């Protein structure tokens, strides 16, 4: 049982690694073809693709009437993204923070996080919460689209011109080809993520922890593995906008779109103030960091610090619960 579970875990990782590598190549070509910044593509398409494991866990949890796991996984995954995942990416290579849209997206993420925390602590009805979350994610996606259209005429113009030159030197493919490639790579991320999540959950249940604890820790980390692999590959290729965009976009979906699904299809499970305040404080720290390192490489000590913060969160969660 243990051997087969470990084998499934590593098979899932391998599938996600291959899919992540192919996904990055497709993104770069689409950025040139559509003349949209890699930041926008990673914020929307890539973030949604890497969030498919979270969506899968959410769906399965709701089907099994386990709303505790569904919501806890979203919170835990969001915390893992901007501490553990980003911290590891910083250690693997120099991550340079942009000078404009990265800061705007930091404010957007912080605003959505504050809204998420307020709604879950409030007595607002479930129906009204769903409506607010749907309006929020719709507004966020519209803002990203309009920002990307403006950016390709100004701050992203030079980068897109460079990508366009590389793109014209390569063999051009029809849109159908890219649609197939996107579908294939996203499916690879989803399948690999699901296999890995199931393997981690099987191991965790042997330890006898509650599903809410699993959602905050082990399941959260395993569903964030696509973001981790993609962030490492992107940082090694100096695709800094993909790193930031994927993690910020992933958290936006985690805290706006998926909560709407959880509340629409099920009931909100008990969420402790510790979980919500931890998410809020860590997001504030992450957002401030994007401003502090505006136009500069993030220091390695920040990467170590973020990983340490996540370890403290996990240890505290496991000990208390």
Domain coordinates in residue numbering, the chain: 38-154+204-320
What b/e readout covers 268-282, taking b as 16+ CB neighbours within 10 angstroms? bbebeeebbebbbeb
CB 108 within 8 A of CB 43: no
Look at residue 294 and give its three-state secondary structure: strand
Q: Dihedral sign, CA of 148, 152, 153, 154?
A: positive
Residue 35's pLDDT is what?
A: 63
Q: Which residue has the higher pLDDT, 126 or 227?
A: 126
Q: Is a pLDDT exceeding 50 seen at residue 157?
A: no
Report how far residue 38's alpha carbon sits from residue 47's, in angstroms, rounded to the nearest whole number.
12
* pLDDT bucket at 211, cuts 50 / 70 / 90: low
CB 39 within 8 A of CB 239: no
For the ranges 68-82, 193-207, 288-302, the one whose mean pLDDT is highest: 288-302
CA distances from 238 to 109, 164, 231, 235, 309 (A): 23, 18, 10, 5, 25
Q: What share of the chain is helix, strand, coil (3-state, %, to 5)?
A: 85, 0, 15
- Give the bridge partners for 241, in sequence order: none
Average pLDDT, the chain: 79
- Give the bridge partners for 294, in sequence order: 97
Bin 261: left if φ > 0, else alpha if -120 < ψ < 50, else beta.
alpha
Instruction: Give the side-chain half-sphere CA count within 13 A for 3.
Output: 0
Residue 171's pLDDT is what?
A: 57
How many CB atoms within 10 Å of residue 146? Answer: 10
Give CA 41 to chain center in angstroms. 13
CB 279 within 8 A of CB 75: yes
When the candidates are 1.10.1740.10, 1.20.1420.30, 1.25.40.10, 3.40.50.2300, the CATH number that belongs to 38-154+204-320 is 1.20.1420.30
Look at residue 97 and give its three-state secondary structure: strand
Residues 21-40 have pLDDT tens digits of: 677 677 667 666 666 666 66
**43: DSSP letter:** I
Residue 159's pLDDT is what?
A: 46
Mean of pLDDT values over 211-236: 73
* pLDDT bucket at 160, cuts 50 / 70 / 90: very low
Mean of pLDDT values over 279-288: 96
| Neighbouring residues of 156: CB distance < 8 A, sequence distance ≥ 6 | 37, 39, 148
Residue in the block written with tokens 């860590």: 282
**96: DSSP letter:** B
Q: Is a pLDDT exceeding 90 seen at residue 87?
A: yes
Report how far residue 120's alpha carbon sits from residue 292's, in angstroms, rounded to the nearest whole number.
30
Residue 167's pLDDT is what?
A: 47
**266: DSSP letter:** S
């Amino acid at each position: 049982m243990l051997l087969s579970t470990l084998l499934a875990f590593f098979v899932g990782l391998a599938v996600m690694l291959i899919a992540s590598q192919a996904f990055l190549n497709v993104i770069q070509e689409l950025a040139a073809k559509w003349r949209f910044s890699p930041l926008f593509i990673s914020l929307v398409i890539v973030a949604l693709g890497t969030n498919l494991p979270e969506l899968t866990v959410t769906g399965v949890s709701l089907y099994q009437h386990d709303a505790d796991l569904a919501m806890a996984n979203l919170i835990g995954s969001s915390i893992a993204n901007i501490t553990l995942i980003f911290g590891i990416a910083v250690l693997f290579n120099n991550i340079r923070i942009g000078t404009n849209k990265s800061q705007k997206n930091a404010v957007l993420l912080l605003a959505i996080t504050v809204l998420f925390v307020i709604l879950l602590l409030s007595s607002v009805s479930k129906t009204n919460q769903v409506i607010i979350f749907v309006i929020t994610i719709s507004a966020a996606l519209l803002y990203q689209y309009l920002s990307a259209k403006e950016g390709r005429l100004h701050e992203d113009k030079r980068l897109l011109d460079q990508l366009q030159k590389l793109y014209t030197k390569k063999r051009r493919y029809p849109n159908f080809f890219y649609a197939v490639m996107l579908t294939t790579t996203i499916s690879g991320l989803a399948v690999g993520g699901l296999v890995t999540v199931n393997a981690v959950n099987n191991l965790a249940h042997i330890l006898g922890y509650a599903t809410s604890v699993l959602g905050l820790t082990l399941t959260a980390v395993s569903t964030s593995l696509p973001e981790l692999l993609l962030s490492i590959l992107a940082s090694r290729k100096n695709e800094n906008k993909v790193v930031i965009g994927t993690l910020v976009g992933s958290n936006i979906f985690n805290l706006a779109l998926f909560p709407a699904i959880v509340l629409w299809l099920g009931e909100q499970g008990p969420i402790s103030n510790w979980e919500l305040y931890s998410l809020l404080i860590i997001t504030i720290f992450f957002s401030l960091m994007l401003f502090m390192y505006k136009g500069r490489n993030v220091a390695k000590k920040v990467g170590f610090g973020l990983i340490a913060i996540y370890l403290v969160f996990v240890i505290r969660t496991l000990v208390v619960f």
